Amino acid sequence: RMKDDGKNNYNVFKPNPDGGGIERLTLENSIRKALQLGEFELHYQPQVDVLTGEVIGTEALVRWNHPTLGLLPPAKFIPIAEETGLIVSLGEWVLRTACLQHQVWREKGFAPMRVSVNLSSRQFSKHDLIERIEEILRETRIDPRYLELEITESMTMNVDGAIEVLGKLKELGMQLCIDDFGTGYSNLYYLKLFSIDRLKIDRSFVRDIMTDTTDADIVATIIAMAHKLGIGVIAEGVEDRDQLDFLHSHSCHEVQGFYYHRPLPAAQFERLLRKRGAMKTNSQR
Ligand code: C2E
Ligand code: MG
Ligand code: MG
Ligand code: MG
């Protein structure tokens, strides 16, 4: 059973059914222009350790600050960027920007924090992926241990040479997370073989945890398997206390979701870090 939570709905720009035509061409051009004009921005969603309440990481999520349409979520432009290959340039911009932001926060004195970046399948299958990433690591001087790449199950299954690519990414010192885990087809043996650091339980399972016993069983099984394999596990899309309690009682201690925080613009994320830092000092008094 494949879960569909409408992630791939895009309704502002509807590509023509034949995949061609004016609209698509216009959108392709405006994405290209938006990259040049700097209209994209990253929001950062905190990842929280349930046991300590601490922010232990953040996922960088791209938005398009469109001059007339306002702030557009990725569902409105990522599919076209994927189709046209522009996702490669956009993805590099995302990676560079997230690494630079991590460095800025470090320089400001915050404890270094894991930053997760989504990789598209199109990027993943580029022959020069490793070189491009190496270049960004050199350029931004981020300590790669704090950088996590989010890939999907299908990416590991569909790309020739995926094993080599993942091996090289690990050699560069980065962490690897399987995003939307449970929605695709997985070869579980690969989890160990690829040295996957973390599984991210898809939010469609978390959403129905309290109402659908199958989903509850799936989530419990993924957590148990991750623990057994010595792999980290995080749940996304946690929106309420009951879901949190369920995850907690099954020993999933890393969560991300609206219950704690929505994705935040960098300035707001930084304010959150400051507030938390202040809280720490207060509680020590
Ligand atoms: P994802 O990587 O699975 O990201 C998680 C999505 O779930 C985000 O949506 C986030 O805002 C949303 N979310 C987090 N917590 C909750 C919650 O409690 N409830 C609900 N209903 N949603 C929650 P967003 O930012 O719209 O991104 C959607 C997808 O777009 C991402 O799914 C990812 O696949 C893609 N995406 C985002 N940024 C990038 C990027 O820089 N590069 C690539 N290739 N894809 C990206
Ligand atoms: Mg993700
Ligand atoms: Mg996800
Ligand atoms: Mg995803």
Per-residue pLDDT tens over the stretch 56-81: 999 999 999 999 999 999 999 999 99
State how far the Cα of 175 lies from the Cα of 173, in Å rounded to an integer.
7
Torsion sign over Cα 132, 133, 139, 140 = positive
User: Whats the size of the chain, residue-wise?
Assistant: 285
Q: From the CA of 180, how far away is ligand 2's center (Å)?
A: 7
- Give the pLDDT score at 26: 86
Residues whose CB falls within 8 Å of the CB of residue 261, separated by 6 or more in sequence, listed in order: 45, 46, 48, 272
Question: Closest ligand to 72 CA?
Answer: 1
- Give the pLDDT score at 188: 81
In percent, the amount of the chain with pLDDT more than 70 equals 89
- Give the pLDDT score at 9: 44
Average pLDDT over residues 78-104: 96
CB-based contact 152:184 (threshold 8 Å): yes
Average pLDDT over residues 244-255: 98
3-class SS at 186? Answer: coil
213: amino acid identity, one letter: T
| Ligand 1 pocket check for 179: Cβ under 6 Å | yes
Confidence of residue 190 (pLDDT cuts 50, 70, 90): confident
Instruction: Say if residue 244 is exposed, middle or buried (CB neighbours under 10 Å; 0-12, 13-18, 19+).
Output: buried
State how far the Cα of 225 lies from the Cα of 188, in Å rounded to an integer.
10
- Give the pLDDT score at 71: 96
- Give the pLDDT score at 8: 46
Look at ligand 1, atom 5, and give the residue with the nearest C-alpha.
Answer: 236
Angle at 178 between CA 13 and CA 118, to 5 degrees: 40
Ligand 1 test: best mutation among 43, 63, 118, most atoms within 8 Å of CB?
118
CB-based contact 134:172 (threshold 8 Å): yes
Q: From the CA of 263, how far away is ligand 1's center (Å)?
A: 9
ipTM for this prediction? 0.98
- Give the pLDDT score at 285: 32
State how far the Cα of 210 lies from the Cα of 40, in Å rounded to an integer.
36
Instruction: State phi, psi for 279 to the nearest 5 degrees.
Output: -60, -40
Confidence of residue 173 (pLDDT cuts 50, 70, 90): very high
Which pLDDT tens digit goes with each residue over 197-233?
999 999 999 999 999 999 999 999 999 999 999 999 9
Q: From the CA of 219, how far away is ligand 1's center (Å)?
A: 19
- Give the pLDDT score at 1: 42
How many Cβ atoms from other residues are within 10 Å of residue 61's Cβ?
20
Angle at 152 between CA 225 and CA 59, to 5 degrees: 90
- Give the pLDDT score at 281: 40
Which pLDDT tens digit goes with each residue over 13-25?
555 555 556 677 7
Instruction: State phi, psi for 60 to the nearest 5 degrees.
Output: -85, 125
Higher pLDDT pick, 36 / 282: 36
Average pLDDT over residues 158-184: 91
What is the overall mean pLDDT for the chain?
89
| Ligand 1 pocket check for 94: Cβ under 6 Å | yes
Q: From the CA of 218, how far away is ligand 2's center (Å)?
A: 19
The token pair at 95 is 């990676």
Nearest CA to 256 out of 178, 218, 203 is that of 203
DSSP E strand stretches across the chain: 40-49, 55-66, 70-72, 114-118, 147-152, 175-181, 198-201, 232-236, 254-256, 264-265
| Ligand 1 pocket check for 62: Cβ under 6 Å | yes
Average pLDDT over residues 130-153: 97
| Ligand 1 pocket check for 240: Cβ under 6 Å | no
Nearest CA to 125 out of 75, 81, 87, 170 is that of 87
In percent, the amount of the chain with pLDDT more than 90 equals 78
